[in-house]
Amino acid sequence: MKLAVIGTGYVGLVSGACLADAGNHVTCIDIDGEKIARLQAGEVPIFEPGLERIVQRTQARERLFFTTDLAEGIRHATVVMIAVGTPQDEDGSADLAAVEVVARQIAQAATDAKLVVTKSTVPVGTADRVRRILEAHSDLAHRVASNPEFLKEGDAVNDFTRPDRIILGVEDEQSREELEALYEPFNRKERRTLTMGVRSAEMTKYAANGMLATRISFMNEMARLCDEVGADIEEIRFGIGSDSRIGPAFLYAGCGYGGSCFPKDVKALAHTGRRHGVPLRLLEATDQVNQEQRRILIRKVHDVLGADLRGKTLAVWGLAFKAKTDDMREAPALYCIPAFLEAGARVQAHDPVAMDNARKELPAGVHYAQGAYDALEGADALVIFTDWSDYRAPDLERIKSSLKAAIIIDGRNLYSPQKMGRMGFRYHCIGRPS
Ligand SMILES: NC(=O)c1ccc[n+]([C@@H]2O[C@H](COP(=O)([O-])OP(=O)(O)OC[C@H]3O[C@@H](n4cnc5c(N)ncnc54)[C@H](O)[C@@H]3O)[C@@H](O)[C@H]2O)c1
């Protein structure tokens, strides 16, 4: 099949490359000329394990192409996927400006009827909006469908090629057949495609992210109570996760969820609820708990080191919003590190892959260390924001001898409080007795 994917970010690039790997002819389009030039040279501009190999392989086999020219990129495509960003608008709703611009450009450039598929996360009713834009700017009989993406950064290739499910929102038989055929290679082992109405597909994506985010905020609230009553959230996690009705995933207490999806999708769904007169109180609370939780390490640092951090040095391990990604969007570190600097601290940070992106987002005063242990030199405490595997089994003796005082404030509950206590650390984590 001949495809065009508009928007070559985490979703567009992974989708385009994996669909090309499955035998399709794919053109990825983006307005970012520098990104496209790097991709044309076989260089993947994001950190995503396994992706570069697929991009280079499919380029070499002449099945994956990159361009900034939308008209040229969609010319031969029968299916055009929209995978541009849908960031949070000022009122919490999803900003659909890029989706609408692209829909108009498709209508103006297309010389034959296309199946236009929204892959971006978009509020209920967006496919209808896209259809109206196509109809307003073209006489061709374009069709629209919804195919929300569920991949996780850090494991995106695996998620795309072996998804839990593929959601197709369609309104006509031809679109259903075309999309089911497109995803057939990913259904060989088990049937993963769920076909439904367009509005249900659009809602499914938000409902999934809303549910996952709610589980995290629920555990974070339980952890706050654990801190007060002397219970251990990790024991509770196992205790409830072993119940097959609950399951173990997304039950980790920590310094809050971040990233390009949960924060904005929770807000956007809550906004949709308000707009339709159905307040989504659980989701509003999920968001509120998370906003507080993202700053919890600030309070814990002040509890240990005092309100005035002048003359103090903090080592920071992990900047990205989660492990295995260089994505800094809505990362808890972005909220806490500026507060540490404002309170007078010197910050020495390390992240295995996100430091280049962090430099663009964090104030200039942050010092970036070459290695994880370099960040510790002369610091008064270590603060952990990200659960990178590099930090999970460190040389504790080396940490102790590098730090001025053996203090760790861990936003990801990476270590055993008992063991840390035995080794002479003052170890503060989330919802566990220290
Ligand atoms: N990142 C994830 O883990 C993830 C997972 C599932 C769904 N989503 C959703 O997918 C969508 C894309 O997310 P992302 O993380 O890939 O975003 P991203 O910011 O990484 O990529 C978006 C790309 O779109 C390009 N773009 C913007 N306007 C354009 C235009 N007019 N024409 C062509 N290109 C344009 C940008 O230059 C950028 O490269 C969002 O709706 C997001 O919510 C993201």
Task: Cite the active site residues.
Answer: 261
Q: Are residues 45 and 179 in the same domain?
A: yes
**Final residue before a domain boundary, out of 173, 196, 219:** 196
Q: Is the pLDDT of residue 188 over 90?
A: no
Pocket of ligand 1 (CB under 6 A): 6-12, 29-32, 35, 83-86, 98, 101-102, 120-121, 149, 151, 153, 260-261
What CATH code is carried by the domain that includes residue 279?
1.10.1040.10
Q: Are residues 288 and 332 in the same domain?
A: no
CA-closest residue to ligand 1 atom 38: 9
What's the 398 CA to ligand 1 centre distance in angstroms? 41
What's the 6 CA to ligand 1 centre distance in angstroms? 9
What's the 296 CA to ligand 1 centre distance in angstroms? 30
What's the 7 CA to ligand 1 centre distance in angstroms? 6
Ligand 1 atom with the smallest distance to the CA of 84 is 24
Is residue 189 very low, low, confident or very high in pLDDT (cuts 50, 70, 90)?
Answer: confident
Whole-structure pTM value: 0.95
**Final residue before a domain boundary, out of 140, 172, 196:** 196
Ligand 1 atom with the smallest distance to the CA of 148 is 7
Q: Is the pLDDT of residue 434 over 90?
A: no
Instruction: Report in angstroms the alpha-carbon separations of 62 from 26, 46, 235, 249.
Output: 9, 22, 52, 39
Nearest Cα to 328, choosing from 303, 298, 300, 360? 360
Percent of the chain clearing pLDDT 90 (strictly above): 98
Ligand 1 atom with the smallest distance to the CA of 101 is 31
What's the 85 CA to ligand 1 centre distance in angstroms? 3
Question: pLDDT digit string (tens) for 301-329?
Answer: 999 999 999 999 999 999 999 999 999 99
Q: Are residues 278 and 327 in the same domain?
A: no
* Residue 120 neighbours by CB distance under 10 Å: 27
What totals of helices (H) and strands (E) does the chain contain, helices first? Answer: 17, 14
Q: Are residues 395 and 373 in the same domain?
A: yes
Residue 67 resides in a domain: yes
Q: Are residues 412 and 302 in the same domain?
A: yes
**Final residue before a domain boundary, out of 170, 196, 222:** 196
Instruction: Report in angstroms the alpha-carbon separations of 69 from 6, 7, 30, 31.
Output: 10, 12, 8, 8
Whole-number pLDDT of residue 119: 98
CA-closest residue to ligand 1 atom 36: 7
Ligand 1 atom with the smallest distance to the CA of 156 is 3
How far is 419 from 392, CA to CA, in rounded Å?
Answer: 14
What CATH code is carried by the domain that includes residue 6?
3.40.50.720
Q: Is the pLDDT of residue 372 over 90?
A: yes
Q: Are residues 169 and 283 in the same domain?
A: no
CA-closest residue to ligand 1 atom 27: 84
Q: Are residues 120 and 266 in the same domain?
A: no
CA-closest residue to ligand 1 atom 12: 85
- Side-chain half-sphere of 254: how many Cα atoms within 13 Å? 23
Q: Are residues 281 and 402 in the same domain?
A: no
Sequence-distant (≥ 6) Cβ neighbours of residue 232 within 8 angstroms? 226, 417, 431, 432, 433
Residue 433 resides in a domain: no
Q: Are residues 192 and 217 in the same domain?
A: no
Q: Is the pLDDT of residue 419 over 90?
A: yes
Residue 434 resides in a domain: no
- Tell which one of 6, 11, 324 to mutate to probe ligand 1, the residue whose CB is within 8 A of the most ligand atoms: 11
Question: pLDDT digit string (tens) for 239-284?
Answer: 999 999 999 999 999 999 999 999 999 999 999 999 999 999 999 9
Residue 218 resides in a domain: yes
Q: Are residues 126 and 231 in the same domain?
A: no
Structural domain harbouring 110: 2-196
Q: Please give the tally of structural domains in the chain.
A: 3
Question: pLDDT digit string (tens) for 214-247?
Answer: 999 999 999 999 999 999 999 999 999 999 999 9
Ligand 1 atom with the smallest distance to the CA of 13 is 16
What's the 280 CA to ligand 1 centre distance in angstroms? 26
